[in-house]
Amino acid sequence: MKIKSIIAGLLLYTRALPAIAETSLLNSLPGNVQKSIEETRAACRSIGVDVKVTSGDQGLGRFTLKDGKPAVVVDPILLCGECYPGFNCSNRGTRNVEIYVHNGSWVKALSNSNITGDIFVSTKPGAYKPMGQELNALVVNLFIGNKECPTRMAASSSEQSWEARSCVVRWNGTKFTYKPL
């Protein structure tokens, strides 16, 4: 399954970063974010099958923005290893992906609950930084778009999945912007 290979790559990428205490990144996030992460993990553990739920900093995507600010992606799929409808994603595979940027404290810079499918993370080549390589762009599929990356509305949810749109998400120095691919 394609999503599993991307998740494995992201997990490998985060493990290849310089050694940081196991939970230092998780513990540095705001309390409500930590609680949400743990609730997602607990929901996935409750399934009772062979679910490979992450712990500590595992499953948190890290990168640096072009202005040098560290950023963290909180994606329920990365936290639980795959989509479990009703637990960490919808029955259409959508989930709420959030990105937090550190500028003295962690601030939510992106929250999108219409992301579906794989997230492709493109980083600029070069040396690793403490929080990971510099982000070039994210490529995401939006089940239902936004004004910057709109989708056509379909008559039903099943038909709407055919209208999902691939978008490039970039940091412009102050916020994330979307552009149709």
- Specify the pTM: 0.82
In the chain, the number of structural domains is 1
- What's phi and psi for 153, nearest 5 deg? -80, 140
pLDDT band of 127, cuts 50, 70, 90: low
Mean pLDDT of the chain: 84
Contact in structure between 36 and 111 (CB atoms under 8 Å): no
Q: In the 3-class helix/strand/coil scheme, how is the chain assigned residue by residue?
A: CHHHHHHHHHHHHHHCCCCCCCCHHHHHCCHHHHHHHHHHHHHHHCCCCCCCCCCCCCCEEEEECCCCCEEEEECHHHHHCCCCECCCECCCCEEEEEEEEECCCEEEEEEEEEEEEEEEEEECCCCCCCCCCEEEEEEEEECCCCCCCCCCCCCCHHHHHHHCEEEEEEECCCCEEEEEC
Tell me what the mean pLDDT of segment 43-64 comes to: 90
pLDDT of 13 above 90: no
Which residue, 102, 137, 139, 111, is CA-closest to 24?
102
User: Can you tell me the distance from the alpha carbon of 117 to that of 70, in angstroms, rounded to the nearest whole number?
Assistant: 25
Q: Quote the tokens at residue 73.
A: 């992606």
122 or 50: whose pLDDT is higher? 122
pLDDT band of 92, cuts 50, 70, 90: confident
Structural domain of residue 102, as residue ranges?
A: 2-180
The pLDDT tens digits of the residues spanning 128-144 come to 666 678 999 999 999 98
pLDDT of 109 above 90: yes
pLDDT of 176 above 60: yes
66 or 4: whose pLDDT is higher? 66
Cα angle for residues 8, 13, 40 (degrees, 5° grid): 60
Burial of 82 (0-12, 13-18, 19+ CB in 10 A): middle
pLDDT of 15 above 50: no
pLDDT of 9 above 60: no
pLDDT of 2 above 80: no
Tell me what the mean pLDDT of segment 107-136 comes to: 87
Q: How many residues does the chain have?
A: 181
* Buried b / exposed e along 131-154 (16+ C-beta atoms within 10 A): bbbbbebbebbbbbbeeebebeee
